[in-house]
Structure 1
Amino acid sequence: MNLKSRFAERPVFVTGADGFVGSHLTEQLVEFGADVHVFVRATSSGELQNIRHLRDEITIHRGDLRDKHSVEQAMKHLTEYSDTIVFHLAAQAHVGESWDRPYETIDTNVVGTLNLLQTVVDLDLDIAKFDTAGTSEEYGNVDGQMEDKHEYDSDGRVLLSERSPVNPTSVYATSKLAADFLTMNYHDAYGLPGVTTRMFNNYGPRQNPRYITGTIVTQALERGIVELGNLTPRRDMCYVSDGVRGHMHVALEGSPGEEYVYGYGENISMRDWTELLLEVGSEEGYWEDPEIVQRDDRYRPGDSDVEELLVGYEKLHEETGWEPEVSWREGARHTIEWYAANKEKWFGRVDWR
């Protein structure tokens, strides 16, 4: 499927467009010639961070997802279009911060999603697809009572797919699961063509340095020690450009009312991921041999950490042909290169100083 030709001049509305994944998606949509409308959070400065270089090629709407009026003011501009695709990526997306800011997390991720969905109905917008971005965190750990409901690979590892039971273990995961269900509620009640996408552990340039990859890389760039929390969990690490292509494929070819999950299709312990990043950075000359240190205060609260995430993306592959293209080592190189070249964009945001 030629993504470029199918997005050319296509009206799209992207929430969270100035964020990590949203900025990469917006950049790709502009490159493909789509008619891009973005919804970004209004700030006193009005500054864009990640899509400033695109501001002359997109239509910018400022507001707050938690404010229904500002959502309506932005989306009313879509009444003149038909077959608009909505990519809903805006969220408070950090697991740890969801415990520090639980009310903001619920307001943004749940009420914000509700405001968007209800506005589509209230304005009777002609929407081709409404893609709500979920998260692999919604699966959580395997509940002993649900073990027989899961699928397993040949090594006995839990293989997570669209059919797997969910068991959210953080405020963030619960809020995203609620957003998924709201999207399906509005499909069932109003025929709104919603789909939900669960990406597995995206990483890459522009990501908030408080996520695991940025935490590792920024410390290694600045000092000889990398302080981390629990290193035993295993994650399915998917490079951001692959994640963006997943969103685009689902938006064009996904079936309304259905869930699509995708990731790299292999997982790695956080200790091995740390060692891989440090090895690649050392090979590229960014640092020598930083020491890895675990600290109790960097662990997630209580039993809220998820032990293992591994995706089975067969459904998306069979329906659209999507599969990951960027290897871990290649993705690591691109990511480290960005952090090394853009210190001013992350230095004031790290949580290890």
Structure 2
Amino acid sequence: MNIDSRLADRPVFVTGADGFVGSHLTERLLEAGADVHVFVRATSSGELKNIRHRAGDLTVHRGDLRDQHSVRQALSALEGTDDAIVFHLAAQAHVGESWDRPYETVDTNVVGTLNLLQSIVDLDLDIAKFDTAGTSEEYGNVNAEMVDNHEFEEDGRVILSERSPVNPTSVYATSKLAADFLTMNYHDAYDVPTVTTRMFNNYGPRQNPRYITGTIITQALERDIVELGNLQPKRDMCFVEDGVRGHLHVALEGTPGEQYVYGYGENISMRDWTNLILDVGAEEGYWERPEIVQADDRYRPGDSDVEELLVGYEKLNRETGWEPQVDWREGVRRSIDWYANNKDAWYGRVDWR
């Protein structure tokens, strides 16, 4: 697929554009020559943190997803177009913090999505695609009563696809599942050309250092121990560049009303992921190998941790040709390099000092 030719001069609207995945997507859209509109939360401490260097190439709309007036004002910029794509990536996206900030999580992730969809209907916008970014966390753990509805590898690992049952185990996962269903509701009721994309555990440069990959790297760069919680869960780790390509493939080739899931297609325990990161960093000369320490206060509440996640991305591959291109060692190397050379971008945000 020639992505650049499909996006050149095309109006695109990105929520969460100054966040982790959103900033990488925004840069890729600019690289393709799209007419990029970004919706960012206006705060007293400023915004555009990850895309400030491209501010002159963007149309910036400031507001808050929870405020319908600002959402509608921003989306009105798409009036008169018929090929615009909306990428909805804004969210309170930290699983642990969803327990500390449950009302903000639901307000932002559910009401915020509703405000976008309803504004498109109220403004009678004729858009080409509306992509809501979901999460692999929506699947949760396998419910014993639903086990016959799951697909399994020969080694017993559950494969999660668009057909798999969902079982959210956190406020974050439940809020994202609600946003997914709202997105589908507006396709069924108002024929809004919506799709939902469940990405599996993106990682890479610019990610908040409170997430697993960032906290491992930043601790290793700064001290002799790496303090973590539960290291048994397995995750399907997908480099952000591949995640962005997934969004673009779905937006350009996906079928309205459909769900698409994607990731690396292999999973790894968080203990092995930690060791991989520490090994690569030591080989590259970023640190002497730190000690791994597990701390009770870094575990998720109760039984809310998801045991394993592994994606089956055959549908997206079959319909659009997407497949991951960055292997784990290369993705980890590029991630470490960014954290090592951009300390000012993350040092004030860590949760381990």
1:104 match: 104
2:348 match: 348
1:129 match: 129
TM-score by length of 2: 0.99
Distance in 2 (CA, whole Å) between partners of 1:351 and 1:314 is 37
2:47 match: 47
| Equivalence map 1:130-209=2 (5 Å) | 130-209=130-209
Distance in 2 (CA, whole Å) between partners of 1:321 and 1:285 is 37
Distance in 1 (CA, whole Å) between partners of 2:77 and 2:344 is 35
2:231 match: 231
1:190-242, Cα deviation, whole Å (9 max, x unpaired): 00000000000000000000000001000000001000000000000000000
1:38 match: 38
1:56 match: 56
Distance in 1 (CA, whole Å) between partners of 2:176 and 2:302 is 20
Shift of 1:47: 3.5
Secondary structure of 1:12's match? Answer: strand
2:23 match: 23
Distance in 2 (CA, whole Å) between partners of 1:46 and 1:118 is 28
Shift of 1:44: 1.6
1:65 match: 65
Distance in 1 (CA, whole Å) between partners of 2:57 and 2:269 is 41
Secondary structure of 1:305's match? Answer: coil
Secondary structure of 2:181's match? Answer: helix
Distance in 2 (CA, whole Å) between partners of 1:84 and 1:8 is 12
Alpha-carbon contact 2:40-2:47 (below 8 Å) kept: no
Shift of 1:80: 2.6
Shift of 1:147: 0.4
1:305 match: 305
Give aligned-pair identity as a percent: 81
* Runs of 4+ off more than 3 Å: none
1:336 match: 336
2:262 match: 262
1:273 match: 273
Alpha-carbon contact 2:18-2:47 (below 8 Å) kept: no
Shift of 1:81: 1.7
Residue identity in the other structure for 1:273: W
Aligned pairs, how many?
Answer: 353
1:287-330, Cα deviation, whole Å (9 max, x unpaired): 01100000111000000000000000000000000000000000
Secondary structure of 1:53's match? Answer: helix
Secondary structure of 2:79's match? Answer: helix
TM-score by length of 1: 0.99
Distance in 1 (CA, whole Å) between partners of 2:47 and 2:245 is 27
Distance in 2 (CA, whole Å) between partners of 1:142 and 1:70 is 40
Distance in 1 (CA, whole Å) between partners of 2:248 and 2:99 is 31
| Equivalence map 1:291-302=2 (5 Å) | 291-302=291-302
Distance in 2 (CA, whole Å) between partners of 1:317 and 1:7 is 20
- Structure 2 unaligned blocks of 5 or more: none
Residue identity in the other structure for 1:291: E
Distance in 2 (CA, whole Å) between partners of 1:126 and 1:279 is 50
Distance in 1 (CA, whole Å) between partners of 2:125 and 2:43 is 27
Shift of 1:154: 1.8
Residue identity in the other structure for 2:151: E
Distance in 1 (CA, whole Å) between partners of 2:262 and 2:298 is 28
- Structure 1 unaligned blocks of 5 or more: none
Shift of 1:45: 4.1
